[in-house]
Amino acid sequence: MTKSYKKGTDKPIEIFIALFVILAVAMVILKMFSSQIEQKQRELRDAADKAKIEEERGNINQFCDARCSEAVDEAGIVNYCRTYYDRKLDLDNNKNYNDYVKSISIEGACEDRIYCAQFKPCGALNMKTCVQRLCAYFKNTWNKQDVQSQDSELAKFIEGGNCYDSVSGEDRRNHWYSRLFSGSLGCAAPPTCLKDLDTWGDNYGATCVCDTEGNCEWEST
C-alpha cells in the first residue's frame, strides 16, 4: 500500500517537470523566432531607407544638373550658387523636414538647405568658388564696395538651414556651412577665375590667364 502510494504521487511531478521543459523549450524557440523577425524587419527598414536616399540623390542630381546647364553667364552662375533643392526631404523618415542628416554627402547638412554647389560641382563651381563669385557680384553689380556689406548679402544668399543653430559638437563641425566658413564669412579674396567667364578681372587689377588645359589663375596687370 505504501509503495503504491509513492508511485502515484511521483507521476504528477514528472508531468509537471515535462510540461516545464516543454514550455522552456517553446519560449527559447519563440525568442529565437522573434529575434529573426526583428532582424528581418530591421534589414527591410535599412533597405528601404537606402533606396529612399538613393532615389533622393538621383532627384537632387537631376535638379542640379538642370541648374548647372544654365550657369553659362554671370546671372546663371549667381543663380546656380544660390540654388538649393527646394522640394521637401525627409531622409530619416520622421515626418520632419529640417533635420540634420549625413546621408546625402560626406558633409552634414540640414534637409531644407542642400545647395547644388555643395552637393556636386558644376565645372569649377563649388561652394568655395561660389562664395568668391557672389562676393564679386555684390561688389561689381550691387556696388557693395566694403567687405562687411558683401558679407551681409552673402549671409542672405547662402544659409546653413533651419537645423544649423540647434546642432552642436561633431555634427556642427561637420556641417558643410561650418566647414565652408569656419565661423566667419569672407569676401576679402578675389574670385577664382574661370575660363571664358572672366567678367570681373579689371575690378581686381588682374587678368584671368588660362593654360591649354583650362587651368586658370589671376595675374596682376
Q: Which domain holds residue 54?
A: 2-126+162-176
Q: What is the DSSP string of 113-125?
A: --BHHHHS-BTTB
In terms of domains, do 172 and 206 share one?
A: no
In terms of domains, do 197 and 122 share one?
A: no
pTM flag (> 0.75): no
Give the 3-state secondary structure of residue 187.
Answer: coil
In terms of domains, do 168 and 199 share one?
A: no
The pair phi, psi for residue 30, each rounded to 5°, is -65, -40
In terms of domains, do 211 and 167 share one?
A: no
Give the 3-state secondary structure of residue 161.
Answer: coil
Residue 150 lies in a domain: no
In terms of domains, do 120 and 202 share one?
A: no
In the chain, the amino acid numbered 175 is H
Can you tell me the distance from the alpha carbon of 1 to that of 194, in angstroms, rounded to the nearest whole number?
Answer: 110
**Per-residue pLDDT reduced to its tens digit, 124-174:** 888 888 988 898 899 888 998 888 888 889 989 999 999 999 988 888 888
In terms of domains, do 101 and 29 share one?
A: yes
**Per-residue pLDDT reduced to its tens digit, 190-215:** 556 655 544 445 544 567 777 777 67
Residue 21 lies in a domain: yes
Residue 182 lies in a domain: no
In terms of domains, do 112 and 25 share one?
A: yes
In terms of domains, do 104 and 30 share one?
A: yes
In terms of domains, do 217 and 170 share one?
A: no
Burial of residue 105 (number of CB atoms within 10 Å: 0-12, 13-18, 19+): middle
Give the 3-state secondary structure of residue 83.
Answer: coil
In terms of domains, do 169 and 196 share one?
A: no
In terms of domains, do 65 and 93 share one?
A: yes
Residue linked to cell 555643395: 118
Q: What percent of the chain has pLDDT over 90?
A: 19
- Cα pseudo-dihedral 144, 153, 117, 141, rounded to 10: -30
Q: Tally the domains of the chain.
A: 2
